Structures are given as structure tokens and as C-alpha cells.
Amino acid sequence: MLNKSKAQNVVWVVGLAVIWAALPAITARSVSEADRRADEPATAVAANSVLYRFDPASQTFITITLPTNSYPTDLEVVGQSPAQVWVAEYGSGRIGRVVFTDTTTYHLIEYPIATPAGSPYRLTVSGGVVWFTERGADRVGRLNSGTGVIDEFSGHGLSANAGLSDIQMAPNGRLWIGAEWSKRLVRLIVTSTVDYSFKEYTDTLRPTFGVAPASIAVEDNNSIWLAIPSGSVAAQRLAKFTPSTEIFDWSMLLNGSQPQELAIAPGNLWFSDKPRNELTQIELGTNTILNPFGPITRPVRLAAESSTVLWSALHTRPPAIGRLQAGTPPSSTVTMYNLPDPRLTPSAIDVAADGAIWVAAYRSELYLPIIRRT
């Protein structure tokens, strides 16, 4: 069923120590750098959902508090001056947008999803449109950033209880989606808001290989990579799908390897390998040359700064983000930076055009969205 909602623009002033209960439009105002710094400790103590902006040059964090119980599960940064930071707020059923000009000028706009159980899980941004999966509702949403209108797509060939996970756009405009619970790779084809369909793919040559993508990376129009942590053995946990032939090719991974997140960098595919405490590089075009780098403790979410510099959200205690500089295999340099609040768990990470690292985090002891079904 198709649902639409117009976004309510909710602007959250930087430096507020409390979250206002009423969410109609709020007029933005400026605050001084001193005010912002003075307010951060109290905000950090009270918050259970935040965004961090980390400056690698100064090695400092800026904390932007999200509304209580937002529980962000994904983010993507586009543009520069101002940067647009899009956030999937799983707990509150909203898409957040931080417009960031500089360290003293930024604000938050919220776009509520009107339909029940509309909890955005992963998102991707393309041409001013934000596409997102609604994991528990078997829906894909589309937000027009110019008008604020949200359209939602469900049924029309999509399996029930699909467990939608990652979503990525190929250069040719094809939208690829992981269905982790129903074990499908899915393509959404939209002609209009009433004329659309989902097409599902499984490995018909190897029916016992479960195509259950948790993460997707697009190499090009004809090479779609899938990370499948739930695969029964290492040989069933990383695949490349070729749309023109509808064939899945599976990579032979190292013992105990369990890819969590994929990232494409020039000439390379990278994946975080939490059980092995490594980031692993695959040279594109070979599909067989594996170069593991580390140790880097419990890496989960992943973002590429360059072909040899990777940032990862680490599920450590205290929680941290890690920077890995790869050299000649297997040499690498790993630097870890603890998050300002030791109670928060990083849930997403991205590298902005200006080199800043954006991190979403929340208190996992209070709320944990279903990551995958056993």
C-alpha cells in the first residue's frame, strides 16, 4: 500500500541541553562557541542518541544530540559547505537531516514517516532523493529532499517478512536492496508511485547458498557485491552478483572470516571482519586475492577515505572508531579514537568531502534494533 507524508520541518538549535517536547517548527538561532562547549558535557550525559563529527587533524569531536530514543542505525554525508548529513532514526520513525556549515552553524531537520512501524534502517542518497529500507515493515521509502514528500513501496513482488537491510544505487539508477530474512537480493523498479515492482534474486545454481545480504556495495552497473555474515561457512559469506547474467560468484574467505560491512575504494573492495579483528582488501578484477590488515579490534561499520585509508566503527569497550592505513600487505597502521561518551555504541560511520568523520551512536543497553534473525 502506498503512503505519503509531508515532512514537518523541525529545526533543532545547536547547544540546547534539553529536547523540546513539542515538535512543530522551531526557529533556529545562533549560539557562541563558548556556549556550545559549556553545554556539551550535560548534553552528552543525558543523550542516548547522538551524531559525532570527528576532525582527524585536531583529533576532536563535536557532539550533536539527536532527539531522545532516535537510535540512529545509518548515515550518509553528501556535499560540502554546507554538508548534508542524512540519518536513519530507527527508534523514532524519522529521517534526520543535519545541515552543517561549520562548527558553530548547524541544525537538524526531521522528516517523520507517517505509516505504522515506519522505522528506517539503512539509507542511500542519490540526486537529492533519499531511499531507505523499513526493516520491520517490508517497505522501501523515498524522500524528496526538495519537497519533503515521502513515498513508500511495498508488496508488488516483495516477499513477506523480508528483513530489508542495506540499500544502494548503481550508476545506471538501478536500486539494489538486501532481504536478509527471506534470503534474497532485491531490485526495486519504479515507474510511478502506483506502477512499481520488486524483483527478487536467489542463486539458482547453488540453492543451498543463502543470499541474505546484510551489506551491499556497488562496483559498477554489472558488479554488485554482497556481505552475508549469516552464511553457514566462509565460502558462503561474500558474493558478487552480475545482473546481466543473474549469476552469483562466491569468494573463498579465510577461516573464521565473517564480513560485516563492504566499502568500494578505487581498485579495491574492502570489508570489515569482526571475528578476525581485520579489515580485508580484495583487488577488484581478481576476486581471489585477499589481503587482510590489522589487528583492528571488533570492526563493524566501514567507510573508505581512499584506496588505502579506511575508517571503521568499533564495537569495543570503551567504544571507539578506528583508522587503518594500509601499506604493502600485510603491513598497516591502526589508530583508535575513543568516543566522548563511553556508554554509547557506534552504529554507522561515513567520511565527508572535507575529511571529517561522521559517526552515529546510541546507548545499546537501552535499545537494540533487530540486526538479523537466527
Confidence of residue 116 (pLDDT cuts 50, 70, 90): confident
Q: Is 367 a domain residue?
A: no
Residue 24 is part of a domain; what is its CATH number? Answer: 2.130.10.10
Residue 56 scores a pLDDT above 60: yes
Percent of the chain with pLDDT over 90: 81
Q: What is the pLDDT of residues 238-273, one digit of tens each?
A: 999 999 999 999 999 999 999 999 999 999 999 999
Q: What is the pLDDT of residues 29-44, one digit of tens each?
A: 222 232 322 223 333 3
Mean per-residue pLDDT, 307-315: 97
Instruction: Say what the pLDDT of residue 117 is.
Output: 85
Our separate counts of H helices and E strands in the chain read: 1, 30
Q: Is 192 a domain residue?
A: yes
Question: In 10 A of CB 221, how many CB atoms?
Answer: 13
- The 3-state DSSP class for residue 39 equals helix
Mean pLDDT of all residues in the chain?
87
Parent domain of 276: 4-362
Which parts of 103-161 are beta strand (E)? 105-112, 120-126, 129-134, 139-144, 149-154
Q: Is 277 a domain residue?
A: yes
Q: Is 373 a domain residue?
A: no
Percent of the chain with pLDDT over 70: 84
Least confident stretch, 189-198, 218-227, 263-272, 278-287: 278-287
Residue 92: burial class (beta carbons within 10 Å; 0-12, 13-18, 19+): buried
Q: Is 211 a domain residue?
A: yes
Instruction: Say what the pLDDT of residue 365 is.
Output: 56
Instruction: Say what the pLDDT of residue 289 is.
Output: 84
Q: Is 311 a domain residue?
A: yes
108 and 70 Cβ atoms separated by less than 8 Å: no
Q: Is 369 a domain residue?
A: no
Q: What is the pLDDT of residues 145-168, one digit of tens each?
A: 999 999 999 999 999 999 999 999
Confidence of residue 288 (pLDDT cuts 50, 70, 90): confident
Element (H, E) at 37: helix 33-46
Instruction: Say what the pLDDT of residue 282 is.
Output: 95
How many structural domains compose the chain?
A: 1
155 and 118 Cβ atoms separated by less than 8 Å: no
Longest dimension (CA), the chain: 62
Residue 190 scores a pLDDT above 60: yes
Cα gap 301→270, rounded to integer Å: 11
Instruction: Say what the pLDDT of residue 269 is.
Output: 97
Instruction: Say what the pLDDT of residue 3 is.
Output: 47
pTM: 0.86
Mean per-residue pLDDT, 345-350: 98
Q: Is 205 a domain residue?
A: yes
